[in-house]
Every structure is written in structure tokens, then in C-alpha cells.
Amino acid sequence: MKTSFIGKYRHQFVRLTSTNDWMMNRLSEEDLLEGTIVISNHQTKGRGQRGSSWVSKANESLTFSILLKPTFVKTTEIFGISICVALGIFDCLSSFQSGFKIKWPNDIYFQDKKIGGVLIENVLGKSKCHQSIIGIGLNVNQLHFNHLPNAISLKQIIKEDISIDSLLDRLCKTIEFRYLQLQDFQFTLLKNKYLENLYLFNKKHCYKIFGKLIYGEIVDVMLSGRLQLKLEDGRLCDFDIKEVSF
């Protein structure tokens, strides 16, 4: 089994449009080893999920991408990658303080505020996943979030300045640990841990489903990554990210 491969090869930049874009462009020119990471002190066109943008302050946040080659993951079970990345980040942050949660599919929350997000871009084959670019954005030392009332940083939580380099090293280790568990067929353990730490799991909450406000509670997440809700009338329904919002 491979160990300490995430972060072994690093490309560091002062400024990039997006670390995910850099990784994707570079891969179109040459092959890179699994575990290669690219970090940028400042992103000018950071991308988020569902076509949103990811805005972060230069030198005060962590923005990086990891290249994984999870060829052992079936395309139908692709959510396993999301689970282990979210858990790896969760483990790392929880070593500072308790109270972090994973918000489906892979946002990282502290109480009701977002501290980080993950953008996963996969290259899928017929039945297996060839390549996965894992883009991670974490609010580390920022104290002000103009126009983002829902954001929080690690410094605001633990009341201390954090070294971005050492946080990156810790994250590489905790994500690798969970990724190796996935490779070692420990999917059930990973999924249970994910659900255990999932924001609003088994709690009644109002969701916007196909534009309508409906009460329900999260009861499961499918292998495909679809969110399963038990609706007020007792029906179990599952949704993808475009169909439901919190």
C-alpha cells in the first residue's frame, strides 16, 4: 500500500486563475503522478460547485488541488471519493476543535457557517474513474468576509493564527488516510463516519426541492451521491445537487 504520496510532488504559485484549471491544463500536456498537488497563494478565478465562483483572500486562505487516480472506484460508486475527501478535511479540522460538520455533498461547516468547500472534477471511463481533480478551498486566517455572511475562518473559530503550510501538510495526511481506507474496501466504515458527522442528519429541516419549500430529514446518501430525504408524508425520495437546496 502506498503511503505519503499526497503532497509528495508540489507545484506552488503566487497567483493562478484556479488550481483546478491549472491541473486540468497541465494534464492535457503531460501525465502527472498520483498525489501531485498545486497550491496558489491567490486565485483570481476560483471556481465552486454548480458554476459558482470561489472567492478567497490572498495569503489568508488555502486554495489547492490534488490529483488522484482512483481507478479502483466504479463510476457508479463515485461518491466514495467525495466521502473520503470530506472526511479527511473534517478529521484535520476536528484535531483543532470539535463542532465541525460535513454539509452534503462535501462542504465543511462549523455550526451554521461554511469554512470550506470542495470541487471534484472526475475523468470517467466506461466503468471506472481514471482521474479525479480535488479542489479544496479553506478559509484560514481571514477575519472579514464582505458580502458573505455565511462564511467563517479557522482563525475565527480557534482564535489563533494558523500556519497555512503546516495546515496543508496535515490535510494531505488526513485525506490520504481516508483515501487509503477507500482503497482498502472500507466503504461501510467511511460512509458511517460521513453520516455520523453530516450536517442536519436525521433532523427535521425545510428544503427547497424543485423550487418548492418542503420539510424533510436526511436519512441516507446513496452510492451515487444522491441525498435521500424522508419527507413529511413519510415518502423516501432522493435528489441530486441541482434538485435540492438547504
Taking the CA atoms of 164, 167, 168 and 169 in sequence, report the sign of the dihedral they define: positive
Residue 122's SS3 state is strand
Confirm if 228 and 92 have CB atoms less than 8 A apart. Answer: no
Closest separation in Å from C-beta 173 to ligand BTN: 19
46 binds ligand BTN (CB under 6 A): yes
Among 7, 18, 78, 85, binds ligand BTN (CB under 6 A): 18
7 binds ligand BTN (CB under 6 A): no
For ligand BTN, the closer of residues 22 and 239 by Cβ is 22
Binding mask 68-97 for ligand BTN (x = CB under 6 A): ------------------------------
Starting at the earlier edge strand, list the strands of the sheet with 204-209.
Answer: 236-239, 227-231, 212-221, 204-209, 244-245
Choices 62-70, 139-147, 185-193, 199-207; region in contact with ligand BTN by CB under 6 A: 62-70
Cα-atom radius of gyration of the chain, to the nearest Å?
18
Binding mask 95-134 for ligand BTN (x = CB under 6 A): ------------x---------xxx---------------
Among 7, 137, 216, 225, binds ligand BTN (CB under 6 A): 137
Burial of 96 (0-12, 13-18, 19+ CB in 10 A): middle
